[in-house]
Amino acid sequence: MKRKAMSIIKLLFFLINMVQAGGISLFIYMTTKKICEDDQARVFLGQVDAIPKYPEMIVWSTLLLIALLGCDMLIRETRKEQSGKIIAITLGIDLVCSIVLVWILDFNYNGVILLVFANILVFVNDTKIKYLLIGVATLGYLVADYDLISVSNHLFSVRDYIQYYNETQQQLLFSVYNILGSLNIMIFILYCINIINEQRNTIQEVNEWSRQLQYANDRLKEYNEMTEKMAETRERNRVAREIHDTLGHTLTGVSAGVDACIALVDIDPGQTKKQLEVIAKAVRGGIKDVRSSVSELRADALEHFQLDEAISDMIAEMNSLAGVEVVFHSEVKPFRFSEDEENVVYRIIQEGITNALRHGKATRIQIDARKIDGVLHLTIQDNGCGCKEIKKGFGTKHMKERVAMLGGSIHFSGENGFLIDARIPIRWGEEYD
């Protein structure tokens, strides 16, 4: 609605200037023609200081300049958001046309400069250039005054031509001339008021957007702080999981190995010594794995071996330490996945063996891996004592978290020994198919 009102004011402003400038040139031409037809040229020449040499040329020149101003206005309105260079060119043409128009009319009309002045206010965004052009337009408007210029120059006067007519006609012509001049100034003032209101609304909108942006920025900072805290929490949980899995697995094996040493120490000291050497090796490996777990998510064994090799090495170590029978059977060949997937599979098997020895007192552990409908089915079944009620301990909780990170699921059963059933969606790459 506001834009429509502004467009109407612009159009009225242009039409008033067109009527006044074009009307003056036509009035001069028609009055000159009437003077000649009345055979009053000699008398009229004796009463005025100057007359235009080519009245008809003034009419055509004025109409041409008005047409140029109209074209400039149309170009600016249709392409004002596309090119700043076009705006600058059209404003320059406006300035030149207005100066030439004032000069052609012998400074009898300078209101067209107000039109240029208003366009500068609307379309020029650069502050320095805007002030420069406004200064030029203001100076031009003040200097282009008939009473000021006519002091030192012989100029024809519209008033002289009006006075050629009778008293009644003079009153009518002077009224029209003055009313058009006043209307031009009034519309210019109205135009400026609308520009000020538009800029004020723009400033208010900018302030509102700035306030909303500041609010969004504050919320983003809060979210960033919360994210950092969550990242810290996740990192603490990661380290806790890694230490629990690695250290728990190693200590469980060491505990079983020490129990075996206690049983053998009186019967076979040589075998006991060998068993202690195996325990010492496992402890050193566990310490190294704990250090790696603190700094890296990936298990140390997976850094040096393929997944199936790392699992086989872990099983062999547990068999030698604890005297337990751990069997691993995989229908997935080769048993290789993405890095994060391998880490989850390795940790679940590691935790399953640890729980079977520590809590179930198992002597045999069966591990099976199958691929069904693109999902890795991993089951770990032991022959331990099992449990009627599965408590949510540190190990089972972390197994659930690990599998959930890959979008899978895991279930536990303690009815017949202890069963871990994990379903892990694997991103089966071409190299693994």
Return the pLDDT at 210.
Answer: 81
Return the pLDDT at 235.
Answer: 63
Residue type, 62: T
Q: What is the pLDDT along the chain (433 residues), one digit of tens a residue?
A: 556 777 788 788 888 888 989 999 999 999 999 998 888 888 888 888 888 888 999 999 999 999 998 888 888 877 755 567 778 788 888 888 888 998 998 888 888 888 887 777 777 776 777 677 677 777 777 777 777 777 778 888 888 899 989 999 989 998 998 898 888 888 888 877 877 777 677 777 777 888 888 888 888 888 877 776 676 666 666 666 666 666 666 677 777 777 777 877 777 777 777 777 777 777 777 666 665 655 444 555 666 678 888 888 888 888 877 678 899 999 988 888 888 888 889 889 988 888 888 888 888 999 999 999 889 999 999 998 888 777 777 678 878 888 888 889 999 988 888 999 999 998 876 444 4
Residue type, 86: I
Return the pLDDT at 228.
Answer: 66
Report how far residue 89's alpha carbon sits from residue 107's, in angstroms, rounded to the nearest whole number. 25
Are the beta carbons of 332 and 379 closer than 8 angstroms?
A: no
User: Which stretches of 263-373 are assigned E, i.e. beta strand?
Assistant: 325-330, 364-372
Exposure of 339 in the CB half-sphere (CA atoms within 13 A): 7
The 3-class secondary structure across 140-205, one letter per residue, is HHHHCCHHHHCCCCCCCCHHHHHCCCCHHHHHHHHHHHHHHHHHHHHHHHHHHHHHHHHHHHHHHH
Return the pLDDT at 419.
Answer: 92
Return the pLDDT at 240.
Answer: 66
Distances (CA, A) of 202 to 2, 148, 219, 256, 380: 12, 40, 25, 78, 69
Return the pLDDT at 239.
Answer: 65
Return the pLDDT at 213.
Answer: 84
- Residue 52, preceding peptide bond in cis (omega within 30° of 0): no
User: Which stretches of 292-363 are assigned E, i.e. beta strand?
Assistant: 325-330
Return the pLDDT at 410.
Answer: 93
Q: What are the pLDDT digits (tens) for 243-292?
A: 666 666 667 777 777 777 787 777 777 777 777 777 777 777 766 666 56
Which candidate, 169, 167, 155, places its Cα nearest to that of 30? 169
Report how far residue 33's alpha carbon sits from residue 41's, in angstroms, rounded to the nearest whole number. 10
The helix/strand/coil state of 354 is helix
Query: Would you put residue 386 in left (φ > 0), alpha (ψ -120 to 50) or beta?
Result: left
First to last CA, the chain: 66
DSSP 239-257: HHHHHHHHHHHHHHHHHHH
Angle between helices 112-123 and 127-143 (to 10 degrees): 170
For the chain, how many residues are written?
A: 433
Percent of the chain with pLDDT over 90: 16
Return the pLDDT at 220.
Answer: 83
Sheet of strand 325-330: strand arrangement: 325-330, 364-372, 375-382, 418-425, 409-413
Return the pLDDT at 433.
Answer: 42
pTM over 0.75: no
* Element (DSSP H or E) covering residue 96: helix 84-104
